[in-house]
């Protein structure tokens, strides 16, 4: 079920790419058909005639299909291995890999049965999760985990200690005892000082035991990411969502397990403000709504078809935007970035004229292959509708 990759191949060449989706919202489509990666990092992107494709150890013929950066899920709740106690499900991370996701970011390991809420315990659990998900990568999936949920009683020294131990994220502010803007801002500031990114639970309670975080708390806390601005599920009133978009400069995260109408409102507002680069996508799974292996693809398709977002731009929300907002080494097809890719094509029998048109018409694309760190992790997806054309491994 869950295999870890052995090591990166020396030199990967991908040729005959029909559509190069860069992940860069400033230029979502590149005039290029070839990518070369060395030891898991992209080294060249261009036209075949201009790129040195010699001495490949692995060659993939895209057969004219589209290449995009591996998708990033900005909001997941992993717990232990590839099991979630929330829905008592195994293999959920591997299933998301088949939805084109290559990187997941934890918003807190909050579904851990008996989750410790004292300061020593929550720090220990964060460090444990960071270590465990660094060492265990289902199918090769990169999981940034170890996101402690802050509680009253934490002091600056705790954040310093967490950072020194390798913790780079906070879980959603508001899922613990800290629910007021002043305390949240103090803890977010300490986290930021030591290089730890922060996020917040925006909107009504997600499950019994969690609580409302409204726009005043969101704006006062000033987290790096405004977690599920469309609620998880219960959204804030429309005027609060638009106010957050207008008054905060931070990343605006839209999730699958939220209010879809509010998602469309937030995306429309951000784009009207010319702040499209702030929009990032997550699933917020596992949750009460379950696990959505195709959740990021579904968000891309939903926002494109109902929100009038060009498909190539919606793909940037789930790739380059997230990478830039969260300072990740992936998410863009450019030299120096991690060689994480998803091959996409129009699903069989979609009414769309091509991949992008099919997404804009509301269909999901078919995933033909997934590559992480230059290694083929998945060939034809077991979960998406079948792609019309598949890429092929030419040599191993
Ligand atoms: Zn939440």
Q: Which residue in 113, 24, 33 sits closest to 66, CA to CA? A: 33
Helices (H) and strands (E) in the chain, counts: 11, 21
Residues whose Cβ atom is located within 5 A of ion ligand 1: 172, 201, 206, 232
Phi, psi (degrees; rounded to nearest 5) at 296: -70, -40
CA of 232 from ligand 1 middle (Å) equals 5
State the pLDDT at residue 207: 77
Within 85-149, strands assigned E span 89-90, 101-106, 142-144
CA of 396 from ligand 1 middle (Å) equals 42
**Mean pLDDT along residues 14-34:** 98
State the pLDDT at residue 208: 78
Q: Are strands 197-200 and 19-21 parallel, antiparallel or unpaired?
A: unpaired
CA of 286 from ligand 1 middle (Å) equals 11
CA of 224 from ligand 1 middle (Å) equals 15
Residue 208, Cβ density class (10 Å: 0-12 exposed, 13-18 middle, ≥19 buried): exposed
CA of 212 from ligand 1 middle (Å) equals 10
CA of 174 from ligand 1 middle (Å) equals 8
Q: What is the mean pLDDT of the chain?
A: 96
Q: Per residue in 93-113, pLDDT tens?
A: 999 999 999 999 999 999 999
DSSP codes, 311-355: HHHHHHHTTHHHHHHHT-S-SS-STTSB--EEEEEPBTT-SSSSH
**199 forms bridges with which residues in the sheet?**
172, 225
CA of 107 from ligand 1 middle (Å) equals 8
Q: Per residue in 353-377, pLDDT tens?
A: 999 999 999 999 999 999 999 999 9
**Mean pLDDT along residues 103-124:** 97
Spatial strand order in the sheet of 101-106:
71-76, 101-106, 142-144
Look up the pTM and report it: 0.96
CA of 221 from ligand 1 middle (Å) equals 15
What tokens appear for 247 in the block? 């008054």
CA of 160 from ligand 1 middle (Å) equals 25
Phi, psi (degrees; rounded to nearest 5) at 114: 75, 25
Q: Per residue in 160-179, pLDDT tens?
A: 999 999 999 999 999 999 99
State the pLDDT at residue 69: 98
CA of 207 from ligand 1 middle (Å) equals 9
CA of 359 from ligand 1 middle (Å) equals 28
CA of 190 from ligand 1 middle (Å) equals 21
CA of 241 from ligand 1 middle (Å) equals 15
Q: Which residues contact 208 (CB under 8 A, 6 or more apart)?
A: none
CA of 220 from ligand 1 middle (Å) equals 17
CA of 181 from ligand 1 middle (Å) equals 16
Give CA–CA dist 16/234, Å, rounded.
45
CA of 238 from ligand 1 middle (Å) equals 18
CA of 321 from ligand 1 middle (Å) equals 20
**Mean pLDDT along residues 192-219:** 92
CA of 46 from ligand 1 middle (Å) equals 41
What tokens appear for 53 in the block? 């494709």
State the pLDDT at residue 396: 53
Which element (helix H / strand E) includes 299? helix 295-307
Q: Per residue in 39-69, pLDDT tens?
A: 999 999 999 999 999 999 999 999 999 999 9
**Mean pLDDT along residues 310-325:** 98
CA of 201 from ligand 1 middle (Å) equals 4
Q: Per residue in 284-314, pLDDT tens?
A: 999 999 999 999 999 999 999 999 999 999 9
CA of 284 from ligand 1 middle (Å) equals 7
Residue 292, Cβ density class (10 Å: 0-12 exposed, 13-18 middle, ≥19 buried): buried
State the pLDDT at residue 6: 53
CA of 197 from ligand 1 middle (Å) equals 16
Q: Which residue in 330, 379, 377, 242 sits closest to 42, CA to CA? A: 330
CA of 264 from ligand 1 middle (Å) equals 18
CA of 202 from ligand 1 middle (Å) equals 7
pLDDT category of residue 205 using cuts at 50, 70 and 90: confident
CA of 105 from ligand 1 middle (Å) equals 13
Q: Which residue in 10, 71, 70 sits closest to 37, CA to CA? A: 10
| pLDDT of residue 137 exceeding 70 | yes
| pLDDT of residue 2 exceeding 50 | no
């Amino acid at each position: 079920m869950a295999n870890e990759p052995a090591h990166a191949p020396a030199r990967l060449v991908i040729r005959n790419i029909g559509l190069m989706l860069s992940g860069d919202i400033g230029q979502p489509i590149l005039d290029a058909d070839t990518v070369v990666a060395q030891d898991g990092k992209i080294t060249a992107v261009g036209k075949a005639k201009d790129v040195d494709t010699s001495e490949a150890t692995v060659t993939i013929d895209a057969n004219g299909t589209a290449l995009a950066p591996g998708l990033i899920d900005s909001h997941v709740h992993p717990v232990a291995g590839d099991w979630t106690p929330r829905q008592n499900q195994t293999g959920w991370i591997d299933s998301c890999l088949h939805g084109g996701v290559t990187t997941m970011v934890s918003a807190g390991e909050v579904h851990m049965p008996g989750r410790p809420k004292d300061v020593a315990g929550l720090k220990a659990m964060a460090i444990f999760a960071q270590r465990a998900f660094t060492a265990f990568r289902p199918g090769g999936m990169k999981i940034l985990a170890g996101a402690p949920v802050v509680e009253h009683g934490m002091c600056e020294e705790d954040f310093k200690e967490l950072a020194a131990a390798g913790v780079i994220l906070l879980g959603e502010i508001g899922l613990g005892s800290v629910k007021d803007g002043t305390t949240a801002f103090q803890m977010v500031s300490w986290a930021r000082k030591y290089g730890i990114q922060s996020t917040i639970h925006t909107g009504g309670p997600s499950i019994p035991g969690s609580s409302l975080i409204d726009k005043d708390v969101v704006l006062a806390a000033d987290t790096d990411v405004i977690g599920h601005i469309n609620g998880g599920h219960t959204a804030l009133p429309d005027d609060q969502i638009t106010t957050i978009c207008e008054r905060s400069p931070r990343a605006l995260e839209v999730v699958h397990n939220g209010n879809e109408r509010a998602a469309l409102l937030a995306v429309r507002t951000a784009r009207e403000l010319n702040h499209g680069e702030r929009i990032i996508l997550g699933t917020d799974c596992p949750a009460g709504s379950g696990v959505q292996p195709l959740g990021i693809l579904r968000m891309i398709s939903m926002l494109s078809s109902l929100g009038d977002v060009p498909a190539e731009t919606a793909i940037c929300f789930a790739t380059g935007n997230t990478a830039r907002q969260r300072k990740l080494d992936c998410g863009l097809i450019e030299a120096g970035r991690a060689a994480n890719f998803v091959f996409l094509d129009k699903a069989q029998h979609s009414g769309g004229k091509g991949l992008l048109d099919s997404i804009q018409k509301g269909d999901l694309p078919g995933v033909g292959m997934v590559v992480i760190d230059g290694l083929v992790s998945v060939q034809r997806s077991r979960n998406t509708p079948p792609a019309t054309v598949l890429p092929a491994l030419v040599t191993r």
